[in-house]
């Protein structure tokens, strides 16, 4: 990996600091090996169980990291964010535990299960705008009116530092277990996990390859990374809705340019196959984005024969209709 | 609860001792509240996530507890058990980590996914007999021939003490969180979790009601408990195959007679509805037996309005065909 640009906002110390702040709220998640998965893929696979966290996704790390970094004044006024799901859930959970008022803007027609869960954690839910961007614009207006601190889902140094804690744990746990990790596969939505990972790996394990994975149907960041120019797409309609982004974000994209060893694209049917393999071999539930890292590994397995790879099971918040559809397609 | 019979083999000290022995191998599992579940059931519900353990089921507690209690001679010779799934998986995992040779006898035609997983943990798998009882008889013959220590899945004091550790954790965690638990629902197969729970609750929290749950299609222990006489059934064909027992076991049945506050029966469709509710509200995978406690709570929710109940999500080892069937039935 080439050194990070000097302007890169997150370094190893920021991640270590986030580790200390989240420790009072979140237990480390298991890093586990499943012989069945090794057997199918022909290499050693370690699964990082972010689905074991409260709210069932890594996003709660980001949320706790950013909310614990706020000033007393910001905490008292409260925060606002636009989200379709896991980040909103994570913020609602963190706000409840830190006693910080949380407002989440979701687009009209957002998944009702996600909306219900966000509200039940005590956050205020505002439905506005016909798509995610419009919800984001409404969020900015409300923030200005009410004097709320806006929390970006990816383009924020504390969010990235929070996401970096998962790779920090991977290194600690794999070393304690005597594992030699060759590569880690990260699904890329906003890019916080990949950017956080790069901050950790560059300093603490430069020999470990960080590999990004996106869905073919939401490939803006991959395309930008390959071409070296910023590319945005009109739509991003993948089953892996947790990573359905239409454009790169400055902070995370700069890190990925500097630090990703490779970037893999996977099809919808490859994501579905990875979801079924994850369910069959680990007996953990997984959402589309949560299995996208594994889909990337499945595609790359041939070149990693005999090596050790980590996949992040980043979340399990799947609705019943989608789970049914994925199971029926297998 | 009435005091346990004097002959009861497991007391609170035995469970505390098992807690100390398993601590080096198994992290405590989360006890978590899901507002969606509270909302649906009209009471406060805490879910004990035994699916987060290695091998995805509480049985690994029983396995580690019993294997760590063996003499050096027994460890060197190795152990043998009959199992159709989770107990065999737990023993294989524990044997691998304790370096104790493990042999598991399964009936012919046993679930191939379970067989594969047991073998991949390094245990010897022997398929023998057309049903579970016949596999058990074969196991006894092989044990005698090879000089292996036989491990019973329920009728063993150390197994029960191991299962008791989950209730020990429930008490510690609920007290730390300021929760006042009124009742805990345990699916009953061999009865180790219920018997272990009674050993803990009798001493440490006699006000907490332990409630057993069985499937209508595998109701021998319930029927025996209600009638006061030992009743066995010819078959036990429930979707909740992890608790498909045909008769009571002495040690666990004596404890349940002394300590269960109630015993609920649930139908197959009630178990399937509980599986879907567990998946929908917690986004954790669950097998039939793993949702049977919740099925019992759903049936009893009316009488617990406003109270706090714990359900044990005891395992998530479901195969894809069954998961599909359960989802499609909803």
Q: For A139-190, how does the pLDDT look when each residue is reduced to its tens digit (9 = 90+)?
A: 999 999 999 999 999 999 999 999 999 999 999 999 999 999 999 999 999 9
CATH fold, domain A12-57+156-328, is: Rossmann fold (3.40.50)
pLDDT at B147: 95
Q: For B94-132, how does the pLDDT look when each residue is reduced to its tens digit (9 = 90+)?
A: 999 999 999 999 999 888 888 988 998 999 999 999 888
The answer to whether domain A12-57+156-328 and domain A60-150 are alike in fold is yes
Comparing alpha-carbon positions, the chain B residue that sits nearest to A35 is B120
Tell which CATH architecture fits domain A60-150.
3-Layer(aba) Sandwich (3.40)
Nearest to A318 among B32, B283, B319 (CB): B283
Distance of alpha carbon B164 from alpha carbon B19, whole angstroms:
9
pLDDT at B130: 86
- Cβ <8 Å between A56 and B283: yes
Chain B window 273-292: which residues touch A at a Cβ cutoff of 8 Å?
Answer: 276, 279-280, 282-285, 287
Partners of residue B30 in chain A, C-beta under 8 Å: 27, 52, 54
- Cβ <8 Å between B35 and A117: yes
Comparing alpha-carbon positions, the chain A residue that sits nearest to B115 is A36
Comparing alpha-carbon positions, the chain A residue that sits nearest to B275 is A320
Run means of pLDDT, 10 residues per run, chain A, 330 residues: 56 97 97 93 98 97 98 96 94 97 94 88 94 90 96 96 98 98 97 98 97 97 96 91 92 96 98 97 97 98 96 96 94
B137: nearest Cα among B63, B74, B80, B220: B80
Shortest distance between the Cα of A266 and any Cα of chain B, in A, equals 23
Partners of residue A116 in chain B, C-beta under 8 Å: 36, 39
Q: For B173-205, how does the pLDDT look when each residue is reduced to its tens digit (9 = 90+)?
A: 999 999 999 999 999 999 999 999 999 999 999
pLDDT at A118: 93
Q: For chain A, give every domain's residue range.
A: 12-57+156-328, 60-150
pLDDT more than 90, % of chain B: 89
Comparing alpha-carbon positions, the chain B residue that sits nearest to A120 is B35
Partners of residue A318 in chain B, C-beta under 8 Å: 283
pLDDT more than 90, % of chain A: 89
Comparing alpha-carbon positions, the chain B residue that sits nearest to A318 is B283
Would you state the structure tokens that stand for residue B57, as one six-digit string?
A: 């089921």
pLDDT at A171: 98
pLDDT at B7: 47
pLDDT at A8: 63
DSSP per residue, A16-72: HHHHHHHTTT-PPPPEEE-HHHHHHHTSEEEEEEGGGSGGGBTHHHHHHHHHTTS-H
Partners of residue A117 in chain B, C-beta under 8 Å: 35-36
Partners of residue B89 in chain A, C-beta under 8 Å: none
pLDDT at A6: 44
- Cβ <8 Å between B285 and A276: no
pLDDT at A114: 87
Q: Would you tell me which CATH number, out of the four given (3.40.50.2300, 3.40.50.1100, 3.40.50.1370, 3.40.50.10860), belongs to the domain B12-58+156-328?
A: 3.40.50.1100
Question: B132-141 — which CB contacts under 8 Å span 24+ positions?
Answer: B132/B82, B132/B84, B132/B107, B134/B107, B135/B82, B135/B105, B135/B106, B135/B107, B136/B82, B136/B105, B138/B82, B138/B105, B139/B80, B139/B81, B139/B82, B139/B105
Q: Is the dihedral of CA B243, B245, B251, B257 positive or negative?
A: positive
Q: For B267-310, how does the pLDDT look when each residue is reduced to its tens digit (9 = 90+)?
A: 999 999 999 999 999 999 999 999 999 999 999 999 999 999 99
Q: What is the DSSP letter of B177?
A: T
Would you state the structure tokens that stand for residue A175, as one six-digit string?
A: 């070393």
pLDDT at B194: 98
CB A200, CB A12: distance < 8 Å:
yes
Distance of alpha carbon B190 from alpha carbon B245, whole angstroms:
7
Report how far apart, in Å, the C-alpha atoms of B119 and of each of A263, A283, A286, B241, B320 are. 35, 17, 25, 20, 20
Q: Does B243 touch chain A (CB under 8 A)?
A: no
Test the B interface: residue of A177, A283, A317 with most B CBs within 10 Å: A283
pLDDT at B35: 87
pLDDT at B6: 44
């Amino acid at each position: 990996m080439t050194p990070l640009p000097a302007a890169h906002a997150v370094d190893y110390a920021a991640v270590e600091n986030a580790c200390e702040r989240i420790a009072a709220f979140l237990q480390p998640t298991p890093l586990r090996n499943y012989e069945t998965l090794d057997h199918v893929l022909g290499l050693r696979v370690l699964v990082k169980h972010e689905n074991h966290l409260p709210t069932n996704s890594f996003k709660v790390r980001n949320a706790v990291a950013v909310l614990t970094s706020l000033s007393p004044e910001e905490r008292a006024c409260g925060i606002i964010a636009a989200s379709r799901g896991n980040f909103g859930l994570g913020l609602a959970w963190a706000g409840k535990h830190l006693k910080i008022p949380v407002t989440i803007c979701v687009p009209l027609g957002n998944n009702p299960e996600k909306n219900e869960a966000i509200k039940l954690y005590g956050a205020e839910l505002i439905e506005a705008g016909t798509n995610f961007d419009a919800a984001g614009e409404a969020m900015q207006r409300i923030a200005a009116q009410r004097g709320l601190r806006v929390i970006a889902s990816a383009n924020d140094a504390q969010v990235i530092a929070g996401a970096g804690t998962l790779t920090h744990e991977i290194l600690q746990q794999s070393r304690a277990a005597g594992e030699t990790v060759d590569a880690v596969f990260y699904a890329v939505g906003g890019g916080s996990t990949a950017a956080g990972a790069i901050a950790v790996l560059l300093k603490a394990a430069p020999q470990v390859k960080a590999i990004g994975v996106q869905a073919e149907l939401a490939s803006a960041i991959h395309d930008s990374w390959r071409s070296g120019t910023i590319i945005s797409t009109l739509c991003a309609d993948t089953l892996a809705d947790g990573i359905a982004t239409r454009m790169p974000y400055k902070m995370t994209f700069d890190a990925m340019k500097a630090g990703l060893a490779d970037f893999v694209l996977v099809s919808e049917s490859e994501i579905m196959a990875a979801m079924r393999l994850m369910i069959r071999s680990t007996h953990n539930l997984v959402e589309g984005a949560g299995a996208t890292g594994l889909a990337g590994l499945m595609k790359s397995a041939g070149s990693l024969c005999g090596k050790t790879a980590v996949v992040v099971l980043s979340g399990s918040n799947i609705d019943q209709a989608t789970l049914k559809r994925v199971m029926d397609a297998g």
